[in-house]
Structures are given as structure tokens and as C-alpha cells.
Structure 1
Amino acid sequence: MVISCKNESDKTSQNHSENDKTEQKVDSVLALMHLNEKIGQLVQYSGKWNATGPSSTNGDQHKLEKLKKGEVGSMLNITSVASIRETQKIIMEHSRLKIPLIFAYDVIHGYKTIFPIPLGETASWDLEAIKKSSEIAAKESAASGLNWTFAPMIDVSRDARWGRSMEGAGEDPYLNSIVGVTRIQGLQGDDLSSVNTVAACAKHFAGYGFGEAGRDYNTVNIGDNELHNTILPPFKAAAEAGVATFMNSFNDIDGIPATGHKGLQRDILKREWDWKGLVVSDWGSIGEMQAHGYAEDKKHAAEIALNAGSDMDMESYAYEAHLEALLNEKKVTIEQIDDAVKRVLRLKFDMGLFDDPYKYCNEEREKNEVYTPENLAIARDVAKKSIVLLKNENQTLPLLKTVKSIAVIGPLGNDKDTPLGNWRGKGEYNSAISLLEGVKNAVGNTTTINYAKGVDLTIPTLEAGANQFLHPLKFNTTDKSGIAEAVAAAKKSDVVLLAIGENAFQTGEGRSQTNIGFLGLQNELLEAVYKVNKNIVVILMNGRPMDLSRVSEIVPTILECWHLGSETGNAIADVVFGDYNPSGKLPVSFPHHVGQEPLYYNQKNTGRPYSKNHVTFSGYRDAPKAALYPFGFGLSYTTFSYANLKLNTHEIAINGEINLSVEVTNSGDRAGEEVVQLYIRDLVGSLVRPIKELKGFEKLMLQPGETKTVTFTIGSEMLQFYTANKIWEVEPGKFNVWVGGDSTAKLKETFTVK
């Protein structure tokens, strides 16, 4: 123990020494800078242009002139070594101080090798797999010249209508914290100067996932309790984990736009948490404070944003146009500008860009380390771990590979693009392995595969492969001509794999929906197929919790497959045919009806909790209060039982600890993985506390009949919350603790904090 402490002390001392050296370097560069160069470091441009050719627009000419003067700090959306090298050369060959650029891109769930969407990947509850996918995303990005990504999104989101929930880790603060930190560690590694890592960005600070009515960019109405106990914990965890950057948010919180929120950015993030990183605005969010009605014009917006602690202006052109005048008018201070500039310079030193501005520009790496067979194999592994078995009546799954005939039906059955999901980085159009291809790869020549699309989900409005980001989808509601073929395929098959759900661009930024069911003609296709073959496995591909009420009522088997990325079809086949026993668990609650939204497991009890026997309770007369499929839920091809929940004591001091143990047994006949989940309730608090809160989990493999004892240590970290005293503390009182396989866990004990 003495040696371990000494080594840790030496490491801390070394880090302090390195930080001191970096600060000296930052200060030395800052002392050389003119005001225009300082302001330039706070400017980020989108670089969708040809750096080596003639400027095609006045905007491009403006960017080029600013680059030559050294008045740009970062570029985004330049995505090849050749383009990045040429853009960096403009700075290095023309500017006075030659301060290198940082190059950024939205690498959300893979760069070119595409992994499951973040919501789906979170369903794996497998931190090793999540970290590995982030490492590969970083490696491929860095090999392509990039050094900064705008991920992970760690917004807690509880409303399935919000399309951007696909980009996060679901409804729970603790799970968002753990998964967010894991992704940061995968992206940044142990050393930001490594050519295999990129700077991560914790976003969106803060409250973005709580937009009213599930509408993107919408207002957020919350109090201190919700802010500190639900929204901020993942961001605090990210800051403590050393995330390099934060991104602020589009929404307002109780009337103050997040981009101009001094309480969030200066007071909490930079002062209370003592975080030294860089805050970047979201795209144009500084200028958007005009539309909010919070700034008179762009100049006023720049004043508000800098005073609030927003360091870098992404594509608002507000800082470059107005900071000098605002400084002369004493509406901002040189100390604020210098602080922001130092945060930019510090990141560039940490990356090693001052030592070698072209360190990420290696064509051989770009050629040999992107979209490799090794990376695709890992993508397949992560994808199969992200699949959640929601229903499996009569043990329909797994199928035998010797089954005589399989019908693959549905608009997503042979879709090679939708599985890539939204925010697919540089993933190539139509590059995913489809479900049909995955099934064909898995079975032998003795199995007949009958394929029929049935219906088109959408009507093409753009050319194949065109960027769908800013274009609304048009759904097919009239063409039923393919349903007869699907019915015929179902009639002559032993089992139907029905691939339905959501197009890749139904979820993501700006994709809010009031209807979270099956759009287009998918319901008609389902009913028609069900009439002739009830042995249906629904292969659900989607980016949000959906209304599965009718599907769950009639279909015996449902496999939640999300948008799984490049290896989708192979990963689904691994699960369908039993080569992998599904182990995923839901990171979000699935409703009986959209009218339940926002829906989440860790609600408050209210003064009139649910009752079967009374009308006047906090629920619905026409739908259950609970979820159709609850948070943490997921089946396996085996079964697990829990027993002998024990506490080593039932009474502790405020700073004490309790050791909890529980026996988990694989009570089935197949090896499988179980996610053991720990939930706690503070029964009485100075503020009303949730009925249950996830506080720990462990994923373990068990052989048939095998029993393992799982232990958790419950300490102040698990029991504290942001109290009525406006501080984080543990309050004395009674606590319930549950352990089980999902948020409805019944095995319970009680203890008291004195």
C-alpha cells in the first residue's frame, strides 16, 4: 500500500509539473499575440470548401483571408488528410504567429466504421465494448487528420418524441454519467498528444434533453432540484474525468439561453468545478440569442456569450465582428478574452500541435487504419451486444440454422442504409450489411429464404446517397402493391423475420415526432402477414423508444435492434440463430402510448401514488402508468434468479459504508450474461426524492446452473443529493435498496443512516 501511494503521489506531482510547463508555454504565446489574433483563436468556421482551389463564394474568400492573418482558431467539417494539410499550411505559411488550427467533426458513433447509435450501444451496458468503439472512432478520425469530435452527448432525455435521444445514453443520470465517462476515456485515451486520440466534447450544457413537448431546441422549464440532481451529474462526471471541451446548448433554461448562461458556464463549470477546458458554442447558438429575444443584435449576443463564459464561437461570426468594439466600450474585459484564448491554446499544446501542426496528416495511416476488417469485426461484436430481446414467447428464438424456410419481410429487411443511423460520420451510403444479407451469411443451402419488401417506408425525395440532414422525409401512405408478395412469402415460410421501425433520418437533430409508432403502411403490412403466419419475429430498427403496444399484443417475439451500424445484418443473425445469447438491457422506458411521454422509471411518488382500487390517483384512466417495457429490461435465451440479498449492517453513519451481497444464478440451460442492477430510494428527504434510482450495475457471465455472489459497496457517493440546503450532502434517514435484472426489481432490504 505504501508503494502504491508513493507511485500515485509521484504521478500527481508529475502531472502538476507538466501542467505548470504547459501554462508557461500558453502564457508565453499569449504575450506575443495582438488583439485581432486573440479574437481569432475564439473563431470556428465550417470548412466545407476547397482549400487548394479558388474561393467559390465571398464567404470562402472571407475565411481564406482570416486564415492567412491567423484569425481563426478551429475548423470543422474538413475530413481528409489532404484537405486538412492544405488548410493548416495556410496558417503556417502566411500567419504571423503560426498558431495551428484544431480540426473538428461530428464523430458520434464511428467515423467510417459505424457502430450502433449511442442509445443502442448504451443498451449493451458493456463498458469495455463502449470504450472500444470510441477508441476505434478516435483512431479512424485521427488517421483522417481530425483531432476534435463533438461527442459524447450526455443529455439526460426522457421524452421519446425528441428525435435526438438516439445520440445519448437514455433517461438515467447515473447511466449517462458512467457511459459518458467511458466514451471520453475511449476518445481521449491517457494522452491527448497521441496520434490515436481526439479531444472529446461533453454536450449539450445544459438541459437540451428536457425541451418542452419533446421539441428540439425548445424551452426548458426546470428548477434547481431537477437541474442539479438530474441534468448536471453527467457533466460534472465528465469534467472530473478530464474531458477536453464542453459544448453549450440551443435551449433556454427558465428564460436564459444556455449559450448566455453565466450561472452554468462561469459559476458552476469554471468556478465551482474548477474546470480548465474549452467551451464551444453550438452551431450559430450565439447569434440565435437574437431569435430567443435575449439579445438585441449579434453584437449584444457576443457580449452576453463572452461574459457568460462561452469561449469559442461556432459559425455565428459574432466574436470576430464585435469583440474588439465591445472591449473598447468596456462591455467585455481583456481578462475574459485572455482566459478564453488560454483555454484554446492549452488544448493545442496538450494535443502537441505546436510541436508538429501536421502530426495528424499521414496519408498512410488514412489509407491503412480506416474501415479495416479488424474494426468491422469489433463493430459486429458491439452491435450484437446492443440488441435487446423484448419478448420471446414459446422460445421462438433462437432459430435453428437448419430451419427449412425463413421469410425476410419488411421495408427494412434489405435496407443497407437505414442501419447506419443518423450522425453516421463518413459512413458510406448503402454500406451496411442488411438483415437479408446477414441471414444468408448465417444459414446453409438447405434453408430457403423468401424475401419480400412488402411496402416502401418512404418516398424518395432526393437522389440516392444525397445528404438527408436538412431534408424532411416523405412517408409512403398509398402504395400497397407489394403487400400481396409479402403475404405469399409468409405463407410458404416456417418463420417470418419482419423488419420494421424507423428510417435512419427519423431520429437525430430536428427529428421530433408526435407519432412514435410505425409510420407509413407498416401496420397494414404487419396485420396482413400476421393473418397468414403468426410465427413472427419482429426485427425492430429504430432510434427512439417506440409505441409497441399493438406489436407486443399479437407478435410472439420482438428483438430491439436499434440502428446497429456497419455490421447490422451479421450481428442480428448472430442473435437470431443463437451464436450469441442476447444480453442487452433497455436504457429507456418504452411506453404503452405516446400520451405517457415523458416517461421514465425514476419518477416521484406524488401524494397520491398509483392505486388499482381508486380513481383519484396519479395515473391514467385509459392506459397504465407504468412502461410497457421498463428501464433496465431485457430477456435472454436463459433465465436468471436472485436470492440471499444481504447487508453487512443495517445502520451506518453519514460517512459510513454498507457492503451488499446478492446471489445470482443462471437457472436455465444456456450460458448467458446478466446485468445485475442496484437501485436505492431515500424514503424521506428535504426535497422529494425519486421512487428508485440506479446506483450501480455489473455485467457478468454465468454458465447453466452457476451461481455467483455479486457485491456492491454503498457509501456517501450513492446516497448524497443536492438538498434544500443547496449543497450535495447525505441526509439521515431510512433507505430502501433493491437488486435485480431491471428497474422493477423486487428483492429489497432497508437500512438507516444516522
Structure 2
Amino acid sequence: MKKLLTLLLVCLVFAACDDKKSGNAEMDKFIDDLMGQMTLEEKIGQLNLPSSGDITTGEAKSSNIAEKIKAGQVGGLFNIKGVEKIKEVQRIAVEESRLKIPLIFGMDVIHGYETVFPIPLGMAATFDRAAIEQSARIAATEASADGICWTFSPMVDISRDPRWGRVSEGSGEDPYLGGEIAKAMVYGYQGRGDDAYKSNNQIMACVKHYALYGAAEAGRDYGTTDMSRMRMFNEYMYPYQAAVDAGVGSVMASFNEVDGVPATANKWLMTDVLRDQWGFDGFVVTDYTGIMEMIDHGIGDMQEVSARALDAGVDMDMVSEGFLSTLKQSVEEGKVTEEQLNLACRRILEAKYKLGLFDDPYKYCDAERAKKEIYTDEHRTIARQTAAKSFVLLKNDNNTLPLDKKGTVAVIGPLANSSSNMPGTWSVAVNLVAPKTLVEGIKDVVGDKARVTYAKGSHLISDAAYEERATMFGRTLNREQEKRTDAQMLAEALSVARNADVIVAALGESSEMSGESSSRTDLGIPDVQKTLLKELLKTGKPVVLVLFAGRPMTLTWEDENVPAILNVWFGGTEAAPAIGDVLFGDVSPSGKLPATFPQNVGQVPLFYNHKNTGRPLAQGQWFQKFRSNYLDVSNEPLYPFGYGLSYTQFDYSDVRLSATEIDGNGELTATVTVTNKGKYDSDEVVQLYIRDLVGSVTRPVRELKDFERVTIKAGESKDVSFTITPEKLKFYNADIQFVNEPGDFDVMIGGNSRDVKTARFKLK
């Protein structure tokens, strides 16, 4: 009997181990055989991800990389640029280490490689799934041609606080839009389903930052996040899950804490939700020094936080080398088990197997590809077209835009003649002198039909130290070379402006005023730029504000005083000619805001899919005592989510429903007719919102549930239909169960979240 129980126990142990295997018998056997040859130290080595130091994204550096690779103490490297360098490092791994295990090479390929697309917030403004997937496909093609097989993208953190600098890297405030973009990016990088990683131009994606990083208190980077589980799942978690459902190969832990535990050590996040609930089967990597930073969080020393990270479900340690330096001791002391270590090692090896690195360690090291497939004319053309789709026309009084290609156009402002700021933040592989400046882009578009003049007009910011912080990583605006006084620069700008027929004011943020560790408390156009803008308006000439921005900004004064405002985000390497295309009417603007623009910072956080209070303010009211409102400003945003003008006018018919009732297995179709009543062919983003009128828990006033970007010619009408199923009506209830509930629903369709046509139906 005792022997039988022992045999049963052994069988159960092996069965538990088998549960962790992939189901790919060939891969499982290969990895079993390889791990059978590995020492404990070599298994730990696979979990170590030091930085090459080639492109720095943090303060810490790793050393003696080559010797560690030879000793089997490195699983991968990141931010090393250049196929020849990568090939040489890979050669050390597969020729000079004992087991010849290849390395995985990662990089922050966030919105393009050398051909850079708009910042992710700008890409979200396209509301174009196909264009977003294509941008990731091109990024993967270029990065893989230069030796990279793993990207730390997409970043899908929902943020409702534009003070947070990294709002520029995400998709805005809406979980559905964020989820659609997450899927498109994963497909673009990896390929779809069984076709993923088949080619040497497909790379592994890494969804980040898991989880809730965009909800940091006060919009201050790396800060604490604290919210209810119901809010997490209804408002923040879906984009991560969507990436998992799309087959994302890896997940990056976030810096912030969740429920009082840093995400990097949060077992509920990394195991209970990510793996057990969502079925994620890839590997989890920390963010830069994420393990080390938990010491400052206050949950233990290096050995303790490293053990907690492994126990939580983290598989790879980026830069901290806590796994490398402490896990052996923790195994010996019983703080972690060898089974946990084996499982993490297996996941890293599986990723390398899926990428095909065991079959060909040099799969991504074809130097001929690097010569032919990076920053190509074709890629640049697509980037230019995509950038134009991302621009959002915020105001256009008296049809100031489009401009005529005639007369004299004065391009004025500190961002008018900068190439390095065009790509935007987190464009680490770009050649900063390659993009055209806005002045050059406009000259290209108008050719010999108009004269283009230029003046800088002002510094970026009056405070020199602030400007230095805002122009890091080579994004200089040559302040140190500017010997003229503010008065002299302004005088030159006004002279240029007075001799022009129209003024294009290139103002706003520099690229590094958003991004990591770039939080702001003042979201307006900086002081000296605003002074310049006011003086330009006094000339009486038509002024177009070309706004460079990495976040929603406060533009109340500008909206009241400037005739036309075109928000161009940071449009990538082809931003300048794309801006020219839109300014002069070769392309009609069609971007829509993926995040609400507040009237002032005091309204933040402000987002469209909020809940009602028990004392809501009546629609159209500004203030009523004992209602939810402010004394000094209305509750309304300056520009709502989904907003964006065009050079034409789109009219929406009433919503037509195919049925007014559906049951749990049914569906209905909601249709509107959209008519282009203007003179320009243009795209329109038709948006579907739904409100659950009565629920067991309170529900938002509206939620985006679908959208379609359509091209409608001048004078043409098109029917746009959406299918509504019970699945679209589900939400997480108080027990964190994903359900729908019978009752009445409003369906709203329009060109933004505010201006909609409404109909009602019932779920039985």
C-alpha cells in the first residue's frame, strides 16, 4: 500500500509538470532534453536580461556581458542596434557557451524603427485598425532586418490623467479602443495564429505595462495605483486581455503597486488573472530594474524581492540581476522551489523555440535585409499617409483651412525648423537628422506656387533649465546657440508675419515633454510661446495653430482666439510633409481624439465614459446649487472623446434598428446613413456607443462598443451598420463576473461621443 501511494504521488508530480507544458510535443521534448542538461546556474542565467548599453533607457548599466554570455548567465539582451553587432553577440552565445543556447534580442520599437509612425496616442487617433496593424508590420520588418526579434510594445495602459507623460505611448482613455489597437499591434508584429513567427520579419510582441500603470496617483510616473477590482476589470484591464487573446508572446510587469503589492511581486496579477483566468502561455518580463525597485517600495531586500517576483509568476529579470545573484541561494533555503525556477526557464526557452532561434540562431541576422528593408521609400510613403490620418482638426472658423498654395506663408515658432522633434518620444532607433522640418515639408508641398518664410519667434520655454529637461536624448532646439534676446526673436517673427499672407504657428510641446518621467502639472502651451501666439494674432493676418502635443492639452484661450487649430501630435519621420498635405487640402483631416481635452487642469481626471451621480447637472446647465458641478467652469470638456472636424460636413440620419428587442442568443443591427454635404472627399470615423440604463451596479453614461472608418466622396451617402449582440452588453458585476443583464439600452451613433443620434432597445 505504501509503495502504491508513493507511485501515485510521483505520478501526480509528473502530471503537474506536464500541465505546464505547451501541448506541442516536438517543442516539449526538445526543451525537456535541453533542460535535462542544464545546471541550476544555467537555468537561472536564462532568466537574466541585461542591457547592452547601446541605447540607454534607464540609469543602470550591466557589465562584463560577453563573459556572462559565455558562462550561460544571460538569456537575452536589449537595446543593441545593428545586425552585425547582434550577429557577433549571438555568435558568442551559440559558439562559446557550454550549451550554445541562443539569445533573444529586444528593443523598444514603440511606433516604428527607423521609419517612425505617429506616437501611439496619434496612431489611436486614426481609429484605423488596418493602418495600425500595418504600422506594426513595417516596424517588425525593419527591426527584424536589423537583428531584433522582440519588441517591448504595444503599450496599452488606459489613462484618464493627461498630466501623466506616458499617455503619449498609449491609446487614450477608452478600453474598447485600446483593446482593438492592442490586437492590431500584436498581429502586426507577430502574425496571426499558427502563422506567427513563421517568417524572419515577424517578431515577438510584449504587451505592457501590466497592470494599471496609467492610473498612477496625481499623474506622476511610477506612482501608486489603488482602485476597486470592479473598476479595474470594467475600465482598465481589457486591453491587456485583448493582447493575450491575440496571442501576444510576452507581458511586461508595471512599476506601480496594485492592492498594496508592486505588480512585479503581485501573484494575483501575474498568476491568478494573467495565466489562470486569461490563459496566457508566454513569459513575463520585468520592466527596467523592476525587481531592484521593490526594495525602495519597502517589501524586502534583493533576495526577498527576487524570490517574491519568481513566486508571483515573473520569468525574466530586466537589468536588476536579482535572479542571477540570489535565486540559487533562495532555492537552497527553500524560499522558492526548483520547480518554479524550471517553469520560468521553460517559458524563456519556449519563446526562443517559437521564434525559430534553435533552428537558426542567425534567423534575424541577414545583413542584406538591413540594406534593403529599412527606411524604404515604400515605408515612408505609408508613414506619411498614416500621419495625415492621425491629425485632428480642433477648430476651423470661416474655413481658414485648407490654405491656398499661393502668396507668402510664414512658418513661425520654436518647433517650425526642428527635425529631431518630429518623430516624437520613444523613437530610439531613428536617425534624428533624417526627418524634414515643418518648414521643409511645407516647401515640398507648395513647390513653386507659394513663398515660404520662417522665424523661430521664441524659445520653447522661458526657463532654460526646464527647456533642457524637455529636449533630452538629442531633441535639441539649439537654445545654447541662440544668442538673440526674446525681444529680438519676437521682433523678427513679427516682421516676417507682417510680410506674409497667412501665418502657420508651430507651437506646443517638444517631443520629450511627454513620455517616460515627463509628467506635467501645467498642460498649456508654454509661456513664451503663448506670448508669441498672442502677438501674431495682433497682426490681423490669418493664423493657423499647428499644435505639437504628446497628450491632451488645455487650449481654452486658443480655442476662443485662434481661427484654426490642427493638432498634429508627433507624426513620425514623415510628419512634416504630412502636415503640409493637410494644411493645403491635398488630404482632408480625419483624426478623432482618443482622449478628452479638458478646459483646465482642475477638471482632471475627465473622461467621456464616466458614471452619473445622484445629483447630475441638467444638460446644457453650467451651475446649479446642490448639483455636481464647479463654481468657475462648466463640467464639459473643451473637446470630447472621439471629436475631430473635417474640411467637409457629415450629416447623420436617425438610427434605424432591425429589432427593438433581442434575447440572450439574438442580435440586432443598428444603421445610420452618413452624408457628405461638403466639397471634399474625406474619411469619417463613425462611432457606436451603448448605455445600459439600469444595472445591478451603476453603469457609465455611454461606452464605445464599435467604430468604422469610412471614405465618403463629396455629395455621397453611405449606410454604416453595426451588429449588436448580447456579448457587447456584458460587464463585470459586483462579484467580478462577466455578465449581461436584461433591460433597456440606448444605442448612440455619431461622429464623436457628444454629438450622437439615439435609439432604444431591450435585452430580454
Offset of 1:446 from its aligned partner?
Answer: 4.5
Partner of 2:526: 519
The equivalent position to 1:550 in structure 2, one of 548, 553, 557, is 557
Partner of 1:693: 703
Aligned position for 1:679: 689
2:32 counterpart of 1:27: yes
How far does residue 18 in structure 1 lie from its aligned partner after superposition? Answer: 8.2
Deviation per CA, 1:96-139, whole angstroms, max 9, x where unpaired? Answer: 21110000000011111111101011111111111111111111
CA deviation profile, 1:648-691 (whole Å, cap 9, x unmatched): 22122233222211111112122111100000011122221111
2:666 aligned to 656, 663, 671, which one? 656
1:631 pairs, out of 619, 637, 641, with 641
Match of 1:293 in 2: 298
Letter in 1 for 2:164: W
Q: Is the 8 A contact 1:154 1:169 kept in 2?
A: yes
Question: Cα–Cα, structure 1 residues 444 and 92, in superposed 2: closer, same or farther, change >3 Å?
Answer: closer
CA contact (8 A) 1:592 1:628 kept: yes
Asked if the contact 2:54–2:81 (Cα under 8 Å) also holds between the matched residues in 1, the reply is no
**640, 662, 677: which is aligned to 1:667?**
677
2: CA distance, partners of 1:540 / 1:446: 25
Structure 1 residues 200 and 475: alpha-carbon distance in aligned structure 2, compared to 1, 3 A threshold: farther
What does residue 566 of structure 1 align with? 573
Q: Does 1:717 align with 2:721?
A: no
* Aligned position for 1:375: 379
Q: How does 1:451-600 map to 2 (within 5 A)?
A: 451-457=454-460, 459=464, 467=473, 479-600=486-607
CA shift for structure 1 position 23: 2.4
CA drift at 1:462 = 7.4
Answer yes or no: is 1:422 the counterpart of 2:425. Answer: yes
How far has the Cα of 1:49 moved from its partner?
A: 5.9
Deviations 1:559-606 (A, max 9, x none): 010101111110001001111111111101111101111111101111
- DSSP-derived class of the 1:697 partner: strand
Distance, in Å, in 1 between the alignment partners of 2:61 and 2:731 is 53
Please give the secondary structure, in 1, of the residue aligned with 2:487. coil
**2:138 matched residue in structure 1:** 136
Structure 1 residues 347 and 752: CA distance shift in structure 2, 3 A: same
Aligned twin of 1:303: 307
Kindly state the Cα deviation for residue 464 of structure 1 after the two structures are TM-superposed: 13
Structure 2: which 5+ runs fail to align?
A: 1-20
1:66-465 equivalent positions in 2, closer than 5 A: 66-189=68-191, 190-294=195-299, 296-401=300-405, 403-457=406-460, 459=464
Structure 1 distance, partners of 2:292, 2:489, is 49
The alpha-carbon distance between structure 1 residues 222 and 502, as it changes in their structure 2 partners (threshold 3 A), is: same
How far apart in 1 are the matches of 2:34 and 2:330? 23
Closer/same/farther in 2, CA of residues 92 and 141 from structure 1, 3 Å limit: same
Does 1:735 pair with 2:738? no
Contact 1:429–1:465 (8 Å) recurs in 2: no
User: Hey, what's the Cα distance between the residues in 2 that align with 1:140 and 1:58?
Assistant: 26
Question: Given residue 420 of structure 1, which amino acid in structure 2 is its aligned partner?
Answer: P
Distance 1:419 1:520 in 2: 21
Note the C-alpha offset of 1:468: 5.3
SS of match in other structure, 1:480: helix
Residue 432 of structure 2 aligns to a residue in which SS? coil
How far apart are the structure 1 equivalents of 2:475 and 2:587? Answer: 34
Q: Give me the TM-score of the superposition, normalised by structure 1.
A: 0.94
Unaligned runs of 5+ residues in structure 1 are 1-15, 51-56
Q: Is the 8 A contact 1:110 1:425 kept in 2?
A: no
8 Å contact from structure 2 (residues 547, 565) kept in 1: yes
Superposed displacement of residue 363, structure 1: 1.3
The SS at the match of 1:710 is strand
Counterpart residue identity of residue 217, structure 1: Y
Task: Give the match's secondary structure for 1:563.
Answer: coil
- AA at the equivalent of 1:490: A
Shift of residue 617 of structure 1? 1.7
- Residue in 2 that maps onto 1:10: none
TM-score using structure 2 length = 0.92
Tell me the CA shift for residue 274 of structure 1.
1.5
> After superposition, what is the alpha-carbon deviation per residue over 1:711-742, rounded to whole angstroms, capped at 9, x for unaligned?
11111221001111321011111111100000
What is the deviation of 1:17?
10
Give 1:470 shift. Answer: 14
CA distance in 1, matches of 2:481, 2:612: 40
1:517 and 1:179 map into 2 onto residues whose CA distance is 28
Query: Partners of 2:325 and 2:289 in 1: how far apart?
Result: 14
Q: Could you tell me how far 1:463 is from its partner in structure 2?
A: 13
SS at match of 2:291: coil
Change (3 A) 1:313 1:58: closer
Q: CA deviation at 1:244?
A: 0.5
How far 1:707 sits from its partner (Å)? 1.3
Shift in CA distance, 325/568, structure 1 to aligned 2, threshold 3 Å: same
Give the secondary-structure state (helix, strand or coil) at the position aligned to 2:721: strand
Question: What SS does the aligned partner of 1:60 have?
Answer: coil
Shift of 1:469: 9.4
| Percent of aligned positions that are identical | 46
Does the residue aligned with 1:749 lie in a helix, a strand or coil? Answer: strand
Equivalent residues of 1:490, 1:533 under 8 A apart? no
Task: Report the AA paired with residue 389 of structure 2.
Answer: K
C-alpha deviations, 1:52-109, integer Å up to 9, x for none?
xxxxx99522x33221111211101111111111111111122121110000000011
Counterpart-to-counterpart distance in 1, 2:190 and 2:239: 17
SS of 1:47 mapped into structure 2: coil
- CA 507–58 in structure 1, closer or farther in 2 if over 3 Å, else same: closer
Distance 1:150 1:331 in 2: 30
Distance 1:358 1:464 in 2: 39
With over 3 angstroms needed to count, the CA separation of the structure-2 counterparts of 1:64 and 1:462, relative to structure 1, is farther
The amino acid across from 2:473 in the alignment is N
Paired with 2:487 and 2:587, the residues of 1 have a C-alpha distance of 36
Question: What letter corresponds to residue 505 of structure 1 in structure 2?
Answer: E
Question: For the residues of structure 2 that align with 1:698 and 1:209, how far apart are their CA atoms?
Answer: 26
Structure 2 distance, partners of 1:598, 1:37, is 48
Is the CA contact 2:403–2:584 (under 8 Å) kept in the aligned structure 1? yes
Corresponding pairs, count: 729
Asked if 1 retains the 8 angstrom alpha-carbon contact of 2:409 and 2:503, the reply is: yes
Deviation at 1:393?
0.6
Please tell me whether the aligned partners of residues 51 and 61 of structure 2 are also in contact (alpha carbons under 8 angstroms).
no
Q: Shift of residue 22 of structure 1?
A: 2.1
Match of 2:45 in 1: 40
Cα deviation for residue 481 of structure 1 reads 2.2
What amino acid is aligned across from residue 310 of structure 1 in structure 2? Answer: V
**CA deviation after TM superposition for structure 1 residue 555, in Å:** 0.5
**Mapped partners of 2:469, 2:617: distance in 1:** 52
CA deviations on 1:687-707 (whole Å, 9 max, x unpaired) are 211111000000111112211
What is the one-letter code of the residue matched to 2:609? N
Distance in 2 between residues matched to 1:721 and 1:44, nearest whole Å: 38
- Please give the alpha-carbon distance, in whole angstroms, between the structure 2 residues aligned to 1:558 and 1:475: 30
- The residue type paired with residue 451 of structure 1 is Y
Deviation, structure 1 residue 552: 0.7
- Residue identity opposite 1:678 in structure 2: L
For residues 390-436 of structure 1, the C-alpha deviation after alignment (integer angstroms, 9 at most, x for no partner) is 111101111121x2111111111111111111111211123221111
